[in-house]
Amino acid sequence: MRYTLKTLIDEFRADPHSPFATLNHAVRVRQARLYDRLIRERGDLLLKQIRPRDLIAWHREWLGPGKIAIAHSLISRLRVLFRFGDVLLEDRECRRLAGALSKLRFEKPILRGQVMTDVQVIAFREAAHRIGRESLALAQALQYELRLTQKNVIGVYTPSSEPIETDVVHSDYGKWHDGIRWSDLDDDLNLHLANRERGNLRSAPMVMEELAVYCDMEPGKITRNDLPRTGPIILNEISAFPYTTSEFRRKWRIVADFTCLPKTMMNKDSKRSSSLRLA
């Protein structure tokens, strides 16, 4: 079959054995936007028309101020596509292009080296309380002191049609899952995620301070019986449901601006560096 870039992408998305089929919903959505862009810009091209110098020219076209990451992502999608076409479709042109990409080198995004400090986290938590967002203060403390990702803390929503078991379903956003729950805490206040212990809350003073606000008691006196047994830990104060990813990021930015954190600082910078751990 003489594939165009569009028909190759269509095969890739539809094939139950392709890497695309194994992705979770959130990642599929993000990658689908990249594949849609490739279809808009180059979809009509036959694979036999694409030369290695074209791939270099495309990457240069995608580059721009602050766009190294998106250019890298688009090239990465092409690598995956051509490998799929080579191995599973046994297509000669995909084998040629996969081989070419394996020999080409492109500029990569610089890894972020920015991390929040204790002082910034404390200021963020204080600001969150001042504007009535205690949930953000607790989420920030959990991310920072237990080195959790945003997804670990707030979870994600996927469409109700997805085969995921959960007791939290929102009429607009779908099924919520993968966020920390009160049931993830054992009787000694150890947090367990994915069958792995992630830390003891008593060793995280900021988390205990936030839980003290939640329980209206002194941090040192909190026991497991003072905390709920079920349900998500981080809830949006307005909806009483877990945050959507976009809403959490918007509210986090509002608090960050109120705290005068740098505009370049993002929620992903919340995990404390191992060299900054408290004694």
The enclosing domain of 167 has a CATH number of 1.10.443
As a whole number, mean pLDDT of residues 212-240 equals 94
Q: Is the pLDDT confidence value at 130 over 60?
A: yes
> Is there a domain that residue 219 lies in?
yes
The residue from 74, 103, 132 where one domain ends is 103
Q: Quick one: 97 and 130 in the same domain? A: no
Rounded Cα distance between 47 and 3, Å, is: 6
In a domain? residue 109: no
Task: Verify that 125 and 257 share a domain, yes or no.
Answer: yes
pLDDT category at 112 given cuts 50, 70, 90 is low
**93 and 122 together in one domain:** no
Asked if residue 279 has pLDDT above 70, the reply is: no
* pLDDT of 110: 64
Tell me if 173 is assigned to some domain. yes
Q: Are residues 150 and 267 in the same domain?
A: yes
Residues 29, 134, single domain; the answer is no
From 50, 73, 103, the end of a domain falls on: 103
Residue 110 lies in a domain: no
pLDDT band at 278 (very low <50, low <70, confident <90, very high): very low
Residues belonging to the chain: 279
Residues 97 and 124 in one domain: no
Residues 165 and 250 in one domain: yes
More confident position, 100 or 29: 100
Residue 28 has pLDDT above 50, yes or no: yes
What residues contact 183, with CB distance under 8 A and at least 6 apart?
A: 229, 230
Closest to 114 measured CA to CA, from 252, 262, 248, 258 = 262
Give the domain range for residue 194. 118-276
User: Same domain, yes or no, for 142 and 245?
Assistant: yes
- Average of per-residue pLDDT across 204-226: 94
Q: Is the pLDDT of residue 239 over 70?
A: yes
Q: Answer whether 125's CB lies under 8 Å from 152's CB.
A: no
Cα–Cα nearest to 208, from 189, 225, 192, 194: 189
**Segment (H or E) for 193:** strand 190-193
Mean residue pLDDT across the chain: 91
Higher pLDDT, 194 or 174: 174
One domain for residues 124 and 259? yes
Tell me what the mean pLDDT of segment 46-71 comes to. 91
User: Of 75, 103, 131, which residue is a domain's last?
Assistant: 103
Shared domain for 82 and 135, answered yes or no, is no
- 205, with CB counted inside 10 A (0-12, 13-18, 19+), is middle
Is 176 inside any structural domain? yes
How confident is the model at residue 159, as a pLDDT? 92
74 touches 51 (CB < 8 A):
no
Is there a single domain that holds both residue 84 and residue 124? Answer: no
pLDDT at 111 over 70: no
pLDDT at 124 over 80: yes
Question: Does residue 116 register a pLDDT over 90?
Answer: no
Tell me how far apart the alpha carbons of residues 190 and 150 are, in angstroms, rounded to a whole number.
19
pTM recorded for the entire structure: 0.72
**Which pLDDT belongs to residue 113?**
60
Domains in the chain, number: 2
3-class DSSP state for residue 153? helix
* SS3 track for 86-147: HHCCCCHHHHHHHHHHHHCCCCCCCCCCCCCCHHHHHHHHHHHHHCCCHHHHHHHHHHHHHC
Please tell me whether residue 192 adopts helix, strand or coil conformation: strand
The answer on 149 and 12 residing in a single domain is no
